[in-house]
Chains A and B, each alone.
Chain A
Amino acid sequence: MRPFEYARAGNVSEAGQLAGRFIAGGTNLLDLMKLEVEAPEKLVDITRLPLDKIEDTEDGGLRIGALVTNSDLAADPRIRRDYEVLSRALLAGASGQLRNKATTGGNLLQRTRCGYFYEPSQPCNKREPGSGCGAIGGFNRIHAILGTSDKCIATHPSDMAVAMQALEATVETQKTDGSTREIPLIEFHRLSGDTPEIETVLEPGELITAVRLPKSQGGNQVYRKVRDRASYAFALVSVAAVVKMDGGKIEWARLAFGGLAHKPWRNHDLEAALKGEAPSSALFDKAADILLADAKGQGENDFKIPLARRTLKAVLAQATKGA
């Protein structure tokens, strides 16, 4: 690990002004620093900031502090009752030890697990812009099939962010000048494009302070994660669904997908096609057709295209049962 300067932020406004890389749970950042994939000159420890509460909001939703751990969030009674898909997604991710450390803000900012990104001897446009992409034409079993570019085919590894996407979450931030903004999660992560090293819309020094969930709209909530092991593995494909049924028809559906793209994926056309329809295998196939119309396999990950179809259909069958 390269040497770095260490500073501890005493309050939120000071954090950005200390001009370093934020560290909270550190489970991903320190891992990457050991491999020298990341080598920040300065770390700003934000773990003492008062951002570890889950608060009720005026509109009936929840405001989740950026430092709330994945464990505490998954176990919160309000999340378990009203946002089951989020609790399920968190519990499907990582291990007990990691969930106890990993934070809400850090989870959104975790880096891809692409093997080329993790191996400094290999080309990677995300780690070293301009060096090429080893995964294109290389080992790409875990890589993206949607929204890829010729610069990068990495996936975003989060489960939590997929569920939050289906719940239409918003990210609260504070910039270095003290101003704050709210970013819809769907606009927070970027596709790889020509600059895969830029993964979010955050400005330098901008700190995630919270994630807001709107008031729960009820509905059937499902998180299905398909992976190589039954536990403690990243998603090959995951689907988060919140589906409201009315009289045997789908009143509305919100769906988000993990393991398929550089960001948690959402497709409004797919959701529009489900709206007002009676559930059927043909309808679910049509939804999968829309999702996968532009899907592109890279060789080893071709299997993700039929796997995404089957997983989506299974989730829709489950989420459209009952009223």
Chain B
Amino acid sequence: MTTLKINGVEHELDIDARTSLLDACRDHLALTGSKKGCDHGQCGACTMLVNGRRINSCLTLAIMHEGDEITTVEGLGDPDNLHPMQAAFLEHDGFQCGYCTPGQIVSAVGMLGEVADGWPSHASADLENGATLSGDEIRERMSGNLCRCSAYPNIVDAIETASTKLKENA
């Protein structure tokens, strides 16, 4: 048996060793918020947080994550109590078909954590002193999340709004 802690709840699963973390959530736990886009780590639709860091859940085995704190989009908020990032995507219409949206939202939450920790990016002019969140920084840091509807301008706006809101709340 494999024990996974997802959104604060422990689940015991009898799964094949081949099961990805994404498939474990979607097919065994009915947590279908995370989406399977490419299944090869190229699109970011499956993004989850593991111990606070964003990863491609399609490219990791569920059995390797015993003891980890896993967060899916369902763990960020619910319809009556949206996470500020979810609310900002609604406010700015940061999607069209919506398939990539859970991955975008979870990735953006993880990304803001990286910025808060002072991590530089390829877009950062100064490596040593961290970065302020500009449009260029957001686009670079979110390049692992593709949107086939190309809602990118509104996604960037939504992330900027959520970033401001989260700072106010902090």
Contacts and interface: CB of A to CB of B under 8 A. Distances in A.
Interface stretch (B60-68, B79-87, B152-160): B60-68
A78 to B, nearest CB: 11
A287 B140 CA distance: 33
Given A1-B18, A84-B127, A97-B144, A30 B59 contact: yes
A97 B56 contact: yes
Interface string A1-22: 1011110000000000000000
A95 B20 CA distance: 19
A96 B60 contact: no
Nearest to A223: B122
Given A1-B18, A6-B17, A98-B41, A47 B64 contact: yes
B122 A27 contact: no
Contacts of A97: 41, 44, 47, 54-56, 107, 110, 144
Contact of A26 (B47, B59, B118, B141): B59
B40 interface: yes
Contacts of B92: none
Interface string B127-142: 1100000000001111
A98 B56 contact: yes
A321 interface: no
A98 B59 CA distance: 9
B120 A31 contact: no
Interface stretch (A86-94, A144-152, A160-168): A86-94
B140 A231 contact: yes
Contacts, number: 99
A27 B44 contact: no
Contacts of A94: 144
Given A34-B39, A232-B144, A96 B111 contact: yes
A94 B64 CA distance: 22
B5 interface: no
B120 A71 contact: no
Contact of A91 (B40, B41, B122, B128): B122
Contacts of B114: 71, 96
B141 A96 contact: yes
A162 to B, nearest CB: 15
B99 interface: no
B117 interface: yes
A231 B42 CA distance: 12
Contacts of A232: 143-144
Nearest to A84: B127
Interface in A26-84: 26-27, 30-31, 34, 43, 45, 47, 71, 74-75, 77, 80-81, 84
A231 B127 contact: no
A267 interface: no
Contact of A88 (B40, B111, B127): B127
A190 interface: no
B32 interface: no
A100 interface: yes
27 contacts: A5-B17, A6-B63, A23-B61, A26-B61, A26-B64, A27-B56, A30-B20, A31-B40, A34-B39, A47-B64, A71-B114, A75-B117, A75-B119, A77-B128, A80-B127, A91-B120, A91-B121, A95-B143, A96-B142, A96-B144, A98-B59, A100-B110, A101-B56, A230-B140, A231-B139, A232-B143, A232-B144
Q: Which 3 A-B pairs have the closest CB atoms?
A: A95-B144, A231-B143, A232-B143
